[in-house]
A and B are shown apart, each in its own frame.
Chain A
Amino acid sequence: MTPLLQLKGISKRYGGVQANSGIDLRVDAGSIHAILGENGAGKSTLMKLIYGVEVPDDGQIIWKGQPAHLSNPSDARRLGIGMVFQHFSLFETLTVVQNMALIVPGSKAALSARIRDLGARFGLTIDPRAVVHSLSVGERQRVEILRCLLLNPELLILDEPTSVLPPPSVALLFDTLRALKAKGMAILFISHKLEEIRDLCDTATILRQGKVTARLAPRERSARELATLMIGRPMPPAVHPTPQGLGEQRLELARLDYLNDDPFGVSLSDIGLSVRGGEILGIAGVSGNGQQELAALISGELTLPGSHRDCVRLMGLPVGDLGAAERRLRSFAFVPEDRLGRGAVPDMSLSDNALLTAHSRGLVRNGFIRRQTERSFTADCIARFDVRTPGPHAEAGSLSGGNLQKFIMGREMMLDPAVLLVAQPTWGVDIGAATEIRQRLVAMRNKGAAIIVISEEIEELFEICDRLHVLHKGRLSPSLDVARTTVDEVGTWMIGAAA
């Protein structure tokens, strides 16, 4: 049988970096093929070459037995290749259906109907009239997947599609993907969730440092074996925190209400939670249920009127009406879910990005920036948190998602805060780095810090948290003790079924 897609000796170089080198790949119709690799292994580059975003320096792309020249994505789409990116390509000021209409032909009304229909079938419910900027990261990814499916592709490339989906939706998506495969569609599936790959994929290609290191059938291997092949060394062990003595109350939210002006935003009502030193509190829930708003209210990016300042207490003092800078002065630190443009300035060097929140750590004296201190702080952060980058002068925007996350996480941890808020700590981060980040969070907790982790990955929360709340439609579940609850119980709260 002629393979649907075949790559022969594909190479691509960016400046000094050999992103792909002599890659061979074969994808058959009616199969799901996994591409496995750490961040920076060259997966995304390879997908961009297949999707026509980039042109290979060397090698051949063969589509249904014919050499194909893909010079842009519309060439690829014409052949029948669709792709869902890890970083979204949506216009934030347009509605969902307007975004679709830019690529998919058909009237807006018909498109809206198809969006609703597909969404219902795949558990990807979305309001076609919603403006994209009001959607959470998870919701935006649903829009991306739906937009691809609307074009009925023969080959669908999915770059880490499940990272933001709640477990029931992941199962639904997998059902869909299997159904698509049964109809003869080929799927290239990029993920670092090894269990998912073993569950879903027929074949897998493993990349390391731009080269293919293995081709195998994932169902025949253990997750540990796959991970070792992927990172080139044995897996770091998973961490499970042992309970320990709790410190004093560090952060407390009580009877916190927030009315969102944005019609597509989420309002919060009657939020109550508290964290003590020496514990990790998890906030579970599907993206778009008020996580952004909750994080902003805790960080001080959203402030409350003075009459409600008591609703947020940091280190025992009311701070509801204080801004982000003042809360940071009170030993608070925060790793936001969106790294580029919020946690870091893409066009600035890592050194200058260190200054963003670490200015109080001796990086500024008498209003002057101390470049030497700034550089050594940054170099320290890069070394201690294993950030893969040419050095402190590299622009934040040039780092891969995982490396940038390590940098931001490192920066905030080096502030040695009494309270650390982390949103989606390992989203888009490869398995090795993710384990490391979790280990560090636990280590911080053991040293007495109070940590809040907002995450959509239940497994992650179960791995590191002492207690959990579930956020659903702007309301918080009661506190659940991780040792005494189950994934099923949390899943029930996540879809709002528990009373």
Chain B
Amino acid sequence: MSLNRRNFLKSSLAATTAMTLPIPAFAADVLNVALIVPSPAADVGWSHTLELGTKALEAKYGDKVKVTLLENIAEGPDADRIMNKTVADGNTFLILGSFGYMEGGLKLAKAHPEVSILHASGYKTAPNFSPFGARYYQGTYLMGMAAASLTKSKKLGCVGAFAIPELITSINAFTLGAQSVDPAIEVSVVWVNSWFDPASEQQAAKALLAQGVDVIFSNAQDTPSVIQTAEEAGVYAFNLNSSMKAYAPKKYLGVVGTDWAPYFLQSVDAHMSGTFKGASAWLSMADKCVFVADWNPDIPADIVTKITDAQSKLESGAFSPFTGPITDQSGAEHVAAGVTLGDDMILSMDWHVKGVTTPLPK
């Protein structure tokens, strides 16, 4: 091919003299960061919080960092090609926003040792490839306490994306938190098998409402459908990642939020100083990643006190929701009294605690 980018730009410059043409600067002193997410980066949800995290990079480093957002990238061969393309274009720091990018990302990491990659919610690690995730369960435990104080039917519900350990732990902690206030609480779950499917999510929420559920946990949806449906039905609801209070001004229970800025900043610092090391990062309240906010004023004062108390213990690391005795759905004791589950056990959790009435899909 005789045409390369540079002489094409020259020729097209002639045609577009009236426009300024900012040619991407790939100078050595600028770090090019690419963020790849599977859904459209809307105003709320998972992709949005990742985008906010990269904004913090730009805020701190200014012209030294340039972030490219690649949204709506389906997992599979296309994503592999696009990742390759970002590296070929001079991006040396990649943030992969979906589990499905794992195999392609690992291949890329091996081929390009100079590139550092952060990969959301995976389980494989390489010297320049770090999986990262958030301990949502710390927040959902607190939400469970609040939900138990507001439910009348003693039935809580959850619309879940995929039955993966990350989401299972969130549901279990939510259930345990609720049972810490009222041991009779039960939780039903509907899995929609999608991160982004407003219609199915709405249907799932309606199915839960029909069962008499009066607090709903929107577990890892990137749309406000569940929250909106709950608001219309006059039922409390909460979600993960970013606040959706705007969609449910009256019945919004709160948000288990994530702030990726500290982790991204720390990783980019390490990359710039050449000390980046691939390692699993499972970020907690203590890491300033997981937080709870936008509490509903309906929560009784005594419960608010209890929640604040539990929150400070979670932040200090003095307390873990997965401390025995914990009984599983079959009624058997899964965690003995006094034992706290280690991270590896939580990360591979494939069972529900007693009180979750829906069996886990196998």
A/B: CB atoms within 8 Å of each other = no
